[in-house]
Chain A
Amino acid sequence: MIQLENINKSVGNFTLRDISLSIEQGSYTVILGDSGAGKSLLLEILAGIRRPDSGKILVDGVEVQNQSIQERPFGLVFQDLALFPHLSVRENIAFPLKMRRMSKLDVDQIIHELALRFEISQLMERSPNTLSGGERQRVALARTLAPKPNCLLLDEPLTALDTRIRQEIRGVLRNLNRSGLTIIHVTHDYQEALTLATHIGILEGGRLIQQGTAEEVLRNPINTFTASFTGIKNYIHVTISDQRGSGVCVAMANHDIPITLDLQEPAQEGYVIIPEEAIFLSHHPTDTSAANNFCGTITDFHPSPHGVEVMINSGIPLCALLTAEGVARLNLEIGDTIWASFKATSVRFIPK
């Protein structure tokens, strides 16, 4: 168990404030945040590259914040991997073992095991300069894991990789975690969190604004920033003002735009999430069972892996996910007036 308690650190004008985080043994924690949110700084503090101004880091109850970088039980993979360019792959992996003055026999044995595990046996005599992105990533992981750290710290490990290699490395990381290794991974890419994390922390402006299991954070983002980071497009601040009959209530967005919910909630502030695939579009108002119908203007189209996201300004910003065929059939263009409809049952409410 790794615990961060009230970690504070100022570097220039930036301050990491009051970071408290518990990381369970064997978990895969992804810290999500924008560039400049303090993700790398947090990893550097954990790794011992920087000392916190205040606060504690406990590993299984033992304080480690004053330990030197060499004594920390963490293995850090830098964003650019920091492979030593003057050493071969074998020498890179042997580096931490030689620093621990292990016998040549043991070093050779560990290198052999790691080479098999990471499928890099054929690369051992090569220079890191000659490797592909995925190969370098594997070598960096093998080197970091050679001294058997308690926890692996990853600084944006997939950022510079193309899609195919990214999937391959995700598989490697998932397997490492399944084998019991605790992993802390910082990134700005919520898809990495979706595919890898058991736990998520959201870092904004040096503060950890939300943390929990991946499901908790992804289902219940506490503000627009978290929602945007977890890939939720239609996350709208609302105030529930009154109830409309049996089990249906109205939430007001921007004070005067009513959104009907199939819920019974007392008057309060909160957020509604409208799944983008639950919004359907038409050129004219249609007589449907949908309780929510908004007239707006198409402002943009965003291609996505699942179709096309149509951005609509209807007093509140809405994003509808259509297939490319759907966009073509409706002959949609930027500036078109369009009707967006969705059912009250598709709207989820998150109290503030």
Chain B
Amino acid sequence: MSQSKLSLVFALLGGLVLLFIIAPLAGLFIKTSPVEFFETVNDQEVTGSIALTLGVSLVTTLVFAIGSVPLAYWLARTSFRGREIIQSLVDLPVVIPHSAAGIALLGMVSRDTWVGQAASAIGLDFVGHPLGIGIAMAFVSVPFLIQSARDGFANVPLRLEMAAMSLGASPWRSFLTVSLPLAARSIITGMVMMFSRGLSEFGAIDIIAYHPMVTPVLIYERFGAFGLKYSRPVAALFVLVCLIFFVLLRILANRRTHDPIRKY
């Protein structure tokens, strides 16, 4: 097959997949009238829900990064029996049904568990609380951060860390001055992925913290109560906000980090 025919076939097949992704989203905007859209923008329940979703997902991502980055480094750098099992456990939340994830989490943090009771004792309540939303978001989205950061650290040549230490750096300073900056691109990409996945979570949040309503739950609520016509503008607005955030974060990540290893 000639190069031009190959390109044509690939363009056709790839175009079909692109169409599959774009068509429903485009339909969402086309079928939402400007009046409906601007009414939704002024709906405080919707904007509050979007702010809650964005805020909880952002905070969850930042908090979980503190533990996930060291875990990713450890998985990238150490070799031990059972490492594959730990890697699979880390990836597990991606493959299990999110309703099942929600039930599992509820079993851990509900008021009749010692974790739930301990939290209640200090005035925290996971169920029906942004804290519960954050836990549900983190559970299903943290594997994206760990995987990406782990790959980032694995791509940093061990020799660079050895060179840093032979030049007098302690293991801590070697990590902070060499490994972390060189893996930054992957870590930030992982954080963007975690944040984005957190925004879209529905299944686990629906079970653990239906209220206050994050936007995916609100869309489902309006669809169930009022039908497609009333849920569509909310969905369109949320998709638009997610798209803007995703694009902005991507641009920011690309500006802040470069990929020195690949060029080297």
Contact = CB atoms under 8 A, between A and B. Distances in A.
A85 B163 contact: no
A85 B159 contact: no
Interface string B164-196: 111111100100011001100000000000000
Given A99-B167, A100-B168, A84 B173 contact: no
A127 B164 CA distance: 17
A147 B264 contact: no
Interface in A121-139: 127-129
A128 B167 contact: no
Interface in A82-133: 82-86, 95-96, 99-100, 127-129
Interface in A50-75: 69-70, 72, 74-75
B162 A69 contact: yes
A80 B157 CA distance: 11
Contacts of B260: 85-86, 127, 129
Nearest to B170: A70
A70 B169 contact: yes
A82 B182 contact: no
A240 B161 CA distance: 56
A327 B45 CA distance: 94
Nearest to B178: A84
B167 A85 contact: no
Contacts of B165: 49, 69-70
Contacts of A69: 162, 165-166
B264 A70 contact: no
A144 interface: yes
A131 to B, nearest CB: 11
A261 interface: no
Contacts of A144: 167
Contacts of A85: 182, 260-261, 263-264
Contacts of A95: 164, 167, 169, 177
Interface string A238-259: 0000000000000000000000
A237 interface: no
B160 interface: yes
A129 B182 CA distance: 14
A49 B174 CA distance: 14
Contacts of B160: 82, 84
A41 interface: no
A47 interface: yes
Contacts of A75: 166
Nearest to A47: B166
B264 to A, nearest CB: 4
Interface majority SS on A: helix, strand, loop or mixed? loop
Contacts of B264: 83, 85, 128-129
Interface residues of B, number: 22
Q: Which of B165, B168, B169, B263 has the most A CB atoms < 10 Å from its CB?
A: B168
A143 interface: yes
Nearest to A75: B166
Interface string B31-75: 000000000000000000000000000000000000000000000
Q: Which of A47, A70, A147 has the most B CB atoms < 10 Å from its CB?
A: A70
Contact-residue size bin, chain A (C-beta under 8 Å from the other chain): 20 to 34
Q: Which of A78, A86, A99 has the most B CB atoms < 10 Å from its CB?
A: A86
A296 interface: no
A106 to B, nearest CB: 14
A96 B163 CA distance: 10
Q: Which of B173, B177, B182 has the most A CB atoms < 10 Å from its CB?
A: B177
Interface in B172-227: 173, 177-178, 181-182
Nearest to B182: A86
A110 to B, nearest CB: 13
A221 to B, nearest CB: 33
Given A69-B162, A82-B162, A147 B261 contact: no
B159 A147 contact: no
A76 B166 contact: yes
Contacts of A76: 163, 166
Nearest to A80: B159
B180 to A, nearest CB: 10
Nearest to B263: A129
B159 A78 contact: yes
A64 to B, nearest CB: 13
Contact of B163 (A70, A74, A82): A82
A83 B159 CA distance: 10
Contacts of B258: 86
B246 to A, nearest CB: 26
Contacts of A157: none
A38 interface: no
Contacts of A127: 260
A86 B181 contact: yes
Contact of A99 (B159, B173, B261): B173
Contacts of A47: 166
Contacts of B159: 78, 80, 82
B263 A99 contact: no
8 contacts: A49-B166, A80-B159, A82-B163, A84-B163, A86-B178, A95-B164, A99-B168, A147-B168
Given A70-B170, A143-B167, 17 more contacts: A49-B165, A69-B162, A69-B166, A70-B166, A72-B166, A74-B166, A78-B159, A82-B159, A83-B264, A84-B178, A86-B181, A86-B260, A95-B177, A96-B167, A96-B168, A127-B260, A129-B263
